[in-house]
Amino acid sequence: MGRLVKERNEMKIEESTEDILKKYREEISRQIKFSDQEYFPDENFSIEYKIFRKENLEKNLTRYEQFCNASEKLLRVSPDKKVILRIQEAIERLHLDITPEGAMSFAVLIGLAIILMGFLTLLVPLLVLFSLESLPLKELISQVPIFLSLAVLISGFLVIIPLSKYPLKLANDYRLKASNQMVLCILYIVTYMRHTSNLENAVKFAGEHLTAPLSLDLRKVLWDVETGKFVTVKDSLDNYLIYWKPYNLEFIESFHLIQGSLYEPDEIRRVRLLEKSLETILTSVYERMLHYAQELKTPITMLHMLGVILPILGLVIFPLMGSFIGGLVKWYHLAFIYNIFLPIAIYFIGTNLLEKRPTGYSESEFFSRQFSLDRFQKTKILGLQFSVKFLSILLGSIFILIGFTPIFMHFFDSSLDQAAFLGFKLLDYKCVSGKCLGPYSTFSMLISLLIPLGVAIAISLYYYMTTKDIIKIRKETMDLEKEFTAALFQLGNRVGDGIPVEVAFSQVAENMKNTPAGNLFKLIDYNIRRLGMDVKAAVFDKQRGALNFYPSSLIETSMKVLVQAAKKSPMTVSKSLLTISNYVKKIHVVDERLKDLLADIISSMKSQVSFLTPMIAGIVIAVSSMITTVINKLGEEFAKATELSPDATVGIQNLPLDIINIKDVIPGFYLQLVIGLYVIQIGIILTILASGIEKGIDRLSEKNLIGKNILISTLLYVVISTVGILVFSLLARGISQI
């Protein structure tokens, strides 16, 4: 009887267990809706794979991919065999859904479209003029925009090469962005493996806390193991590290040291290998930057000479050249060379220098993730809220419109062309047979200075207003980071003494009272004690977390490591915090050495932007105004002389008087407009290069520096030009009256 009762009870337990399992299966099936068109396997798929697949493989095709695929269907063109493998590798690295033939086809079609536009700009005006006017072919051709057509045609041929290699450019940007996270990647892995010698979990930890693109690479490493492509994480990592062999051997060496620590039976030697891996990549960054600084001086000097000194000084000869060669050189020729061709060439030369910059240290996108510039697009004036972009465009447009006043005055009232103003001609247009050239007056040249000033005001106001508050927060954060190393050291020691992490925050905050680091720990302690949060929520909570008030990549990294280490033991937390403290000290030393290495180059580039370039340009404009004034006055005097009797023109009647025809000279109004805009363009390019050389990829500092430098350099250019034009114009008037 007892045995039957026992068997009956066991059957009831099995039935109840089966009922419970059945109930939860039904509930899970009800909540998860499977699609017939998607495959959801039960195993061999990790969370890292799903994230990777979502962020990369399932993303919508970009417009570039769409254009490449459409172009390949219309006109399939294969790239050169020498670069096709490199392009294919870049496409695979970027996970683009295109082929090398598609990229080449897109480049060729764009080039052909531009070339076609060049032919149209040449043929259409010629056909229209031929149908409307019965003029000789020579005169018809003289009225066709041949220069514009040739410029468009040449651009069409030139654009094919860079567009066909665009995937290589994208892959290079991807590589540089990933390189900036290498030191942090090694830090995460070393910190994790100090307390847990598990490479797979360490790679997973780093992938979870890094940002793209390196985080995606690490997730793919795990994905390749989960899907069976590789047997172990070590094999998958070795395959991934092959890609970095031509670019960063130190990153590979650091990983090899980390892998070697797995085979060390002695704990002390294992930890030393891990610390050696971090030291290796930090030392390599310094050595690579040392060589970079040594090799940078000559290219920067050449860039300054070829991009600033020679082009601006060359403008002095153009007023004379236009007169000597019959007016073949027009202002729009200069605009094409100085405002389109030269800036593009200088920018590409400069970015080529930046691409050679060693990366891999203290670079973070934390501020761009924490603060969006959209938050600072509004400003208050007299209690009213305005768009910063609207105010910038409005204020800049006012100056620009005033600068174009001479053009408007001539258009609406041509009687003002020869009117006098303060002893100068107001506009001074030269009109022959209904065709007017000018303005040649000093007044017009002075007023035109407001055009580059208006452009500079619009750019500077927008960039400065949208970044000044974030820069202020960053400065406060940097002050915090200077003493955060000591705070971490104290926190690590407290926890190492056996004090719980929650209590240690309170003690360190009390010891560092009235300091930025003390206030940070005090806020964390308040969230823990008063709001009942755990350590993770006290730091990372979206509403009350300390990271919202102290936006620092260093704090973020340290707290992530602390939260992870707290899952193990207090000693693990202590060792992890002390590791980060030592890491920050080494980073600071490397950073200070790099600043010292680059000090001469950075100061030289800053002086070029703020002083040398606007000063040289202002002097050139003043000299050009004097040359134009002298030619104008001499032309008028010679014209008067030819009207006198032959006896009064003895000595000049055999001179070729057409050689100083003012109508062939480029008006100072347009010459100043070209060079003024060139000063702004060069200032922006040099600022981008100086910021990139000093800080690497840092868009926030770059925009803030542009906002400061462009307005200062343009104001200096306007002041020097104004004084120079007035002085040299008075001097030219005196010379012409002798």
With DSSP H G I counted as helix, E B as strand and the rest as coil, what are the percentages for the chain, rounded to 5?
75, 0, 20
Angstrom distance (rounded) from CA 577 to CA 521: 14
For residues 524 and 506, the answer to whether their CB atoms sit within 8 Å is no
pLDDT band at 398 (very low <50, low <70, confident <90, very high): very high
Question: Which region holds residue 341: left if phi is over 0, alpha if psi is between -120 and 50, else beta?
Answer: alpha
Place of tokens 């670069």: 83
- The DSSP code sequence of 280-348 is HHHHHHHHHHHHHHHHHHHHHHHHHIIIIIHHHHHGGGHHHHHHHTTT-S-HHHHHHIIIIIHHHHHHH
Angstrom distance (rounded) from CA 730 to CA 352: 46
In the prediction, which pLDDT does 359 show? 63
In the prediction, which pLDDT does 75 show? 85
In the prediction, which pLDDT does 42 show? 37
- Which one has a higher pLDDT value, 595 or 646? 595
Angstrom distance (rounded) from CA 552 to CA 488: 14
Task: Select the highest-mean-pLDDT range: 20-24, 98-102, 420-424, 479-483.
Answer: 98-102
Q: CB within 8 A of 636, min separation 6: which ones?
A: 662
In this structure, what DSSP letter does residue 711 have?
A: H
Angstrom distance (rounded) from CA 687 to CA 605: 8
3-state secondary structure of 645: coil
Cα 329 from chain centre: 35
pLDDT band at 142 (very low <50, low <70, confident <90, very high): low
Place of tokens 């405002």: 339
Domain boundaries, the chain: 2-55, 56-174, 180-263, 473-586
Containing H/E element for 432? Answer: strand 430-432
Q: How far is CA 280 from CA 9, 186, 187, 196, 266, in A?
A: 66, 10, 12, 21, 21
In the prediction, which pLDDT does 536 show? 84
In the prediction, which pLDDT does 34 show? 38
Strand-pairing partners, residue 385, are: 380
pLDDT tens for each residue of 632-686: 676 666 666 655 545 544 444 554 545 556 666 778 888 889 889 999 999 898 8
**Does 108 have pLDDT greater than 50?**
yes
Pairing of strands 424-425, 420-421: antiparallel
pLDDT tens for each residue of 172-202: 777 777 777 888 888 888 878 877 788 888 8
**Does 240 have pLDDT greater than 80?**
yes
CA-atom Rg of the chain in angstroms: 35
**Does 21 have pLDDT greater than 70?**
no
Angstrom distance (rounded) from CA 154 to CA 209: 48
H helix intervals, 75-145: 81-94, 100-132, 137-142
Backbone angles phi, psi at 379, to 5 degrees: -145, 155
Q: CB within 8 A of 545, min separation 6: which ones?
A: 527, 537, 538, 539
- Which one has a higher pLDDT value, 477 or 376? 477
**Does 482 have pLDDT greater than 70?**
yes
Instruction: Give the mean pLDDT of 331-349.
Output: 84
In the prediction, which pLDDT does 489 show? 81
Q: CB within 8 A of 694, min separation 6: which ones?
A: 595, 598, 602
> Which of 98, 113, 180, 125 is CA-nearest to residue 153?
113
3-state secondary structure of 101: helix
- Which one has a higher pLDDT value, 345 or 318? 345
SS3 string, 540-598, reads HCCCCCHHHCCCCHHHHHHHHHHHHHCCCCHHHHHHHHHHHHHHHHHHHHHHHHHHHHH
Strand-pairing partners, residue 436, are: 431
In this structure, what DSSP letter does residue 95 have?
A: T
In the prediction, which pLDDT does 363 show? 44
pLDDT tens for each residue of 523-556: 888 888 888 888 888 888 888 888 877 777 777 7
In the prediction, which pLDDT does 719 show? 93
Q: How far is CA 37 from CA 10, 173, 227, 634, in A?
A: 43, 36, 20, 85
